[in-house]
Amino acid sequence: MSKILEVKNLNTYYGSSHAVKGIDLEVNEGEIVAMIGSNGAGKSTTLNTISGILRCAPGGQIFFGGTEITKAAPADIVKAGLSMVPEGREVFPSLSVAMNLEIGAYTRTDRAEIQNSFDRVYQLFPRLKERKNQAAGTLSGGEQQMLAIGRSLMCSPKMIMFDEPSLGLAPNIVAMIFQMIQEIHEQGVSVLLVEQNANMALKISNRAYVLETGKVTLTGASADLRHDDSIRRAYLGGK
C-alpha cells in the first residue's frame, strides 16, 4: 500500500512554546486515519503545519504523493490535492453558499470540471443545493459543516484533513457528518481525521494515533485501540 502522506520529525513552535514535538505519521492511499487526544495535545497544530498555515521547524519533512511539501505555500498544497476542513467551519458568513463553494475551487481554471465538483457536492449535500443562494451565516451549525466539507471537495482532492468536524453539533447531525466522511472516503479520498469524539473516530478509521502534549504516545489499528484499557479510560468513558 503506497503512502499518500508522510510526516517525519514534525516540530512546530508558537514563539518559544514547543507545541508539536517530533511527530512521525503516515496515511496510506485509501485509508481513514484518526488522530485523537485531549485539548492542547497538538492535533490541530499538526494539521495546520501539514497544510502550510504554520511552519515546520528545521529538520522536519512532509511528503504528499511522494513530493516534499514542507515549505510549500498553502495554495500549492491544495493544488497538489490536499485540502482541509478547518475547526469551527470558517465559512464566509456574508457570502452565499454557492460563492463559498466557488472559493474552494480557487486553484482551478477548468469551468466544466468545477461544475462537475458543484454537482458532486450538491448530490452529497442536497440541502446545500436548496440553500445555494442563501448567506452562509444564516445556516445552522450542521449546514455550515456540510458547506465546509463541500468547499473542501471543490478542489477535487486526493486527501482531506478534517479538524474536529463534530464540534458543537447535535448528536444526530454528528452521525450524519461521520456518514458523509465515510461516503467521501468510499469515493476514493484518503482521510486524516482529528476528532475529540474518540469513539466515533475509532469506529470509522483504519488506524489511529494518540497524541499527548505534542507527542505520539500510541499508534495502532483503530479496532485494537478501542479495546485498549488506557484508551477506554482516557477517551472513551470506560472503566
Each domain of the chain, given as residue ranges in start order, spans 3-235
Count of CB atoms within 10 A of residue 239's CB?
5
In contact, 28 and 36? CB cutoff 8 Å: no
| Amino acid residing at 189 | V
Give pLDDT, residue 101: 97
Give pLDDT, residue 239: 52
CA distances from 64 to 49, 59, 195 (A): 13, 17, 22
> What is the layout of strands, in order, in the sheet containing 67-68?
17-28, 3-14, 61-64, 67-68
pLDDT digits (tens, 9 = 90+) for 47-66: 999 999 999 999 999 999 99
pLDDT digits (tens, 9 = 90+) for 185-234: 999 999 999 998 898 999 999 999 999 999 999 999 999 999 888 888 88
CATH code: domain 3-235 is 3.40.50.300
The mean of the pLDDT values for the chain is 93
pLDDT digits (tens, 9 = 90+) for 102-149: 999 998 889 999 999 999 999 999 999 999 999 999 999 999 999 999
Give pLDDT, residue 237: 66
Distance CA 106, CA 45 (A): 24
In contact, 204 and 182? CB cutoff 8 Å: yes
User: Where are the alpha helices (H) located in the chain, listed in sequence order?
Assistant: 43-50, 74-80, 97-104, 111-124, 126-130, 141-153, 171-186, 198-204, 222-226, 229-235
CA distances from 188 to 43, 85, 130, 223 (A): 24, 17, 26, 22
Give the residue with greater pLDDT, 107 vs 178.
178
